[in-house]
Amino acid sequence: MSADLLEAAAVAMPGVADTTLRQVMDAQAISDPDRIYCTFGDQVLRFGALDAAVNRVANALLARGLRPGDRVALMLPSHPDHIVSIFALAKVGLVRVPVNTSLVGPSLDYPFEAFAVDALIADASYAEALAPVLAQRPLRALIWRGGAEDGFAALLAHPDAAPPAVQPGPDDIIAITPSSGTTGAPKGVLKSDRTLRAGPMAILRLTEAQPGETLLFWEAMHHGAGVAVLIAAVLGRLQLGMVERFSASRFWQQAAQVGAARVHYLGSVLPMVLKQPEGPADRSHGVRIAWGGGCPPELWRPVEERFGVEIREGYGLSELITFCTVNMTGKTGSIGRPLSWFEAAVMDAEGRALPPGAVGELCFRALAPGLGFLGYFRNDAATADAMRDGWFRTGDLARQDEDGDLFFAGRAKDSIRRRGINISAWEVERVLLDHPEVEEAALIGVPSALGEEEIKIFIRRAQGSDLQPDALLRWCAPRMPRFQLPRFVAFVDEFPRTPTQRIRKLELPRDIQDCWDLESSGLNPAQKGG
């Protein structure tokens, strides 16, 4: 077989069946109830017990008057209860709205308003942060996990553990995933049962994980990647070794403790792990494959050589599925080729395909029914703008080599990726503009030693103001999540502008020698003052 045919076979995928996640779970609860789905510390969660808990929670929510299509926000920590909640909503067609547990202030308020949330399941530890949000918009159902009145425990105690009476179809919308807000406010990506299963199927293809194998599960479940791993473990009959959070210093030890053969990385995970002191755990972990997206090309071989793993890189995005392309050949730095469900092209600003080697916008067209871009929640204009002649415009830059392999070349959108999280410039800038001494603000990304980007903010102060960076950051700390806090602050008298008076961000300096640095300042923004 020729190299081209081998590569074609490597990315060929079966169609995404009409069998829903609900139907798969119902069947596995009967056929394989004793298999271990997840471990969490000393807790062992077998599939039959998981499914029964999922059914109890789903039936309890229906008993409270919620119906398929209602939007339910989840703001929960990394815990098996979060897994149960995700699957319970999916089983009955309730639309999951994930909420990042780090959000505060306007960033926390936004998803409730923009995505018309009907109900909320939240950990009681977030009650203080949620109080202003809930004061403004009464919900049809509010369920706290923990605290004085543990409503979630009541859901788990519901007497009916049978499969619920209602269920979604394969193309029903069962989640709204907040986009990174790359051209303004974050948009809600509509996700169907089919698209939420397709991403995990791509994970199984990329990892070649076999039934019974264990994955180290460290991902946040408000992130699409985390949910995809949960579903992949169902579809592939895998076991999850769950830890509470990612730890760079204990990454390989944790993998060894849970018996993982494969580990997932995002963005800065590999640079952070590579920066750890060398030790015996580097090679004694038993992991064979590290899979994910965003491995810096210059670190590809160093990671493989130091840790004895094979890098499996791919590319995906919220608007489509977890992986649209996969690299099965090991070509350094490449995101591979599209799965057979998609066609990919590198295009210029007018939508014309570019020749090999040229950098342009990466675009996708779905070849499999139901796997195209399904749109943004109640935002027809943004939905139409994302498409051109049947192609979804990612806003990301790429090039393609003579072999047809794709290489990520940067982001054309107004966002940055910091420590695995997409950060909208708009979200940060709108908080800064509420400061009485800030006239204008512009955010850009600057290179980070961890392989992604850090936030640099440019501030034009109000006339007569002598606002200083430390005071500004102290003011910001209670109003935005930690991961949105700028590291670098620079003050300007004027901004370069387009003829329509938009700030030309491409002309703002990326150097960090002429600005204030939070990390070297010794400032703790959470301390009172400012």
What's this model's pTM, rounded to 2 decimal places?
0.87
Identify which of 386, 347, 340, 389 has the alpha carbon closest to the alpha carbon of residue 366: 340
Is residue 407 within 8 Å of 399, Cβ to Cβ?
A: yes
Degrees (nearest 5) of the Cα angle 412, 409, 401? 135
The answer to whether 288 and 282 have CB atoms below 8 angstroms apart is no
In degrees, rounded to 5, the angle at the alpha carbon of residue 197 between the alpha carbons of residues 192 and 200 is 140
For the CA atoms of 26, 29, 30, 32, the dihedral, rounded to the nearest 10 degrees, stands at 140
Hey, what CATH class is 21-35+43-168 in?
alpha beta
Are the folds of 1-17+193-413 and 21-35+43-168 the same? yes
Helices 47-63 and 21-31, packing angle to 10 deg? 130
CA distances to 77, 250, 421, 523 from 43, rounded to whole Å, are 16, 20, 29, 40
> Among 318, 285, 313, which residue's Cα sits nearest to residue 299?
313
> Which residues are paired to 315 by β-bridges?
325
The fourth-level CATH superfamily of domain 1-17+193-413 is ANL, N-terminal domain (3.40.50.12780)
Q: Which class would CATH give 415-521?
A: alpha beta
**253: which 2 tokens?**
């030890």
Would you write out the chain's pLDDT as a tens digit for each of its 530 residues? 234 433 554 467 888 999 999 999 999 999 999 999 999 999 999 999 999 999 999 999 999 999 999 999 999 999 999 999 999 999 999 999 999 998 999 989 999 999 999 999 999 999 999 999 999 999 999 999 999 889 999 999 999 999 999 999 999 999 999 886 445 678 999 999 999 999 999 999 999 999 999 999 999 999 999 999 999 999 999 999 999 999 999 999 999 999 999 999 987 789 889 989 999 999 999 999 999 998 989 899 999 999 999 999 999 999 999 999 999 999 999 999 999 999 999 999 899 999 999 989 999 999 999 999 999 999 999 999 999 999 999 988 899 999 999 999 877 777 787 877 778 888 899 899 899 999 899 999 998 877 788 999 999 999 999 999 999 999 999 999 999 999 999 999 999 876 656 788 878 999 998 899 999 888 888 765 44
Query: What are the extents of the domains in the chain?
Result: 1-17+193-413, 21-35+43-168, 415-521
Q: What are the DSSP calls for 514-526, one per residue? A: TSEEHHHHT--TT
